[in-house]
A and B are shown apart, each in its own frame.
Chain A
Amino acid sequence: MHQSQNIGSMKTDDIKQIWKSANTDETVGKQYSLKEIQEYRKKKSRQFSQSGKRIIYFDMGFKGLLVLALLYLITFQVAEPVYQQIIVVLISVTAILLGMNFIYLKKLEKIKETDAVMNNLKNQLHYFKNTYRNFIINSSFSNPIFVVTGFFFYFQFKYHEIRMGTPWEDPVLYLFLLAAFIISLGAQWANYRNELKELTEAIKDLDDESIASLKIEEHRMSRRRNLFMYTILIVLGMLVLLYFLL
């Protein structure tokens, strides 16, 4: 007599039994040799924190090249004081943005794979919400700076002077600048929203209360921010009032 039991009522005990059978030395699958493990250890990571680092490094390299190009222009090419001042401003802005990238890198290092899963997810979410968003805006400025530097080079080498009109006289350059910023920001923002959504969902899947507490924390932060802004506005308003009264 051959008797069989129903897999249909596959309860957790059955699942455990199948799991055990699937994970014996013979059935668990490919075993890795010491040599393979050694090779894997030496390879470079493609994990988020590493790819995130690479994106920041790339942007830093890009901005570094732009600073060098602008320095070349101001040192050897551009003689008009107005454009020299514009280039100095551009160099300063790019250098500040470059410096901010170091802060983003430092903060990224706080995400550790050795933390408990929930803490790791929360740290990632915190980084995404508070740092990565700023990085996206920061890196989106690289493209318009690249475009304006390109235009400066073009004008300088073609006409031996920079010919930049106002946005009303010559809107092409300004439209290019705007497009460069919007396209870069838009593309990165869409990706950012997706990743943010997936992270939030993962935390919610693990602990509903965490999302609630994160929202409360966000609300508190926003209240503190608003309070700070209103205080500054009130102080400024009073100073202006005092200026006119005295």
Chain B
Amino acid sequence: MTKPMSEIAFEQLVYENQAVLIKVCNIFCKIQADKDDLFQEITINLWKGLPSFQGNSKLSTWIYRVSLNTAISKSQRKRKNLIRYTERLPEHNGLISNEDAVDEEQIQMLYAGIERLKPVEKALILLYLEEHSYSEIGDIMGISEKNAGVKLHRIKRKLEKILQPCTNLKTSEA
């Protein structure tokens, strides 16, 4: 029988894995107050769900499951408050410099594009961008590996289409 984790150990665990929680918050919420709310909600659910964590699945899988379930439920209930769909994507000059420096504008544009996806699509694209395998994505989302691949293919196309208006500028040489 596994010994229950102490409160301090749990807080340390969340502290060490907070990057996952922050990424989920960033993708599901736009303003900091909403992000803080969601972070808090995920922390509570992780704490409540801790006794059911048997160690059968990976810790990261468990954290992702709780985080995404919480975020999806919250965004469904408070869609109007939580997700503020932008009428237009932020305008961009269309250029990525060869120095691989991705500027703030491009990041904003990507988030604005992701913001237009549905909650479960956001969850899937987040896992994809975090470079999880289809098998891991299927495990976290509770769908087959094949289905995860098919869904992701559609979501990637959708995201590219959303970001298309920002892409009219041609390659330039100065």
Q: A residues touching B (Cβ–Cβ < 8 Å)?
A: 1-12, 14-19, 21-23, 27-34, 37-38, 40-41, 43-48, 51, 112-121, 124, 195, 198-199, 201-202, 205-207, 209
B58 to chain A, nearest CB (A): 13
Q: Provided the pairs A37-B14, A41-B44, A41-B47 are in contact, do residues A206 and B141 lie with their beta carbons within 8 angstroms?
A: yes
CA A9 to CA B168, docked complex, whole Å: 8
Which chain B residues numbered 100 to 137 have a C-beta less than 8 Å away from chain A? 100-102, 106-107, 110-111, 118-121, 123-124, 129, 131
- Are B110 and A45 in touch, CB under 8 angstroms? no
CA A43 to CA B42, docked complex, whole Å: 11
Given contacts A4-B174, A118-B142, 7 further A-B pairs with CB under 8 A are A22-B26, A29-B35, A32-B15, A40-B44, A113-B73, A114-B49, A117-B123
Q: Provided the pairs A1-B174, A29-B35 are in contact, do residues A15 and B72 lie with their beta carbons within 8 angstroms?
A: no
Which of chain B's residues have a CB closer than 8 A to the CB of A23?
A: 19, 23
- Are B43 and A3 in touch, CB under 8 angstroms? no
Q: Quick one: CB contact mask for B51-76 with A, threshold 8 Å, 1 for yes?
A: 01100000000100110111011101
- Are B44 and A22 in touch, CB under 8 angstroms? no
For A116, the closest partner residue in chain B by CB is B142
- Are B173 and A3 in touch, CB under 8 angstroms? yes
CA A48 to CA B106, docked complex, whole Å: 35
- Are A202 and B120 in touch, CB under 8 angstroms? yes
- Are A30 and B11 in touch, CB under 8 angstroms? no
- Are B94 and A6 in touch, CB under 8 angstroms? yes
- Are B70 and A34 in touch, CB under 8 angstroms? no
Q: B residues touching A (Cβ–Cβ < 8 Å)?
A: 7, 10-12, 14-15, 18-19, 22-23, 26, 32, 35-37, 39-41, 43-45, 47-49, 52-53, 62, 65-66, 68-70, 72-74, 76-77, 79, 92, 94-98, 100-102, 106-107, 110-111, 118-121, 123-124, 129, 131, 139-143, 147, 151, 156, 159-160, 163-164, 166-174
Which of chain A's residues have a CB closer than 8 A to the CB of B22?
A: 28-32
For A33, the closest partner residue in chain B by CB is B15
- Are A18 and B52 in touch, CB under 8 angstroms? no
- Are B121 and A205 in touch, CB under 8 angstroms? yes
CA A70 to CA B167, docked complex, whole Å: 70
- Are B44 and A45 in touch, CB under 8 angstroms? yes
- From A2, A12, A116, residue with most partner B Cβ within 10 Å: A116
A41 to chain B, nearest CB (A): 5
Which of chain B's residues have a CB closer than 8 A to the CB of A209?
A: 147
- Are A2 and B174 in touch, CB under 8 angstroms? yes
CA A185 to CA B169, docked complex, whole Å: 55
- Are A116 and B65 in touch, CB under 8 angstroms? yes
CA A121 to CA B111, docked complex, whole Å: 25
Which of chain B's residues have a CB closer than 8 A to the CB of A118?
A: 141-143
Q: Provided the pairs A4-B97, A46-B41 are in contact, do residues A10 and B77 lie with their beta carbons within 8 angstroms?
A: no
Which of chain B's residues have a CB closer than 8 A to the CB of A34?
A: 11-12, 15
CA A9 to CA B7, docked complex, whole Å: 48
CA A209 to CA B144, docked complex, whole Å: 11
B99 to chain A, nearest CB (A): 9
Which of chain A's residues have a CB closer than 8 A to the CB of B118?
A: 201-202, 205
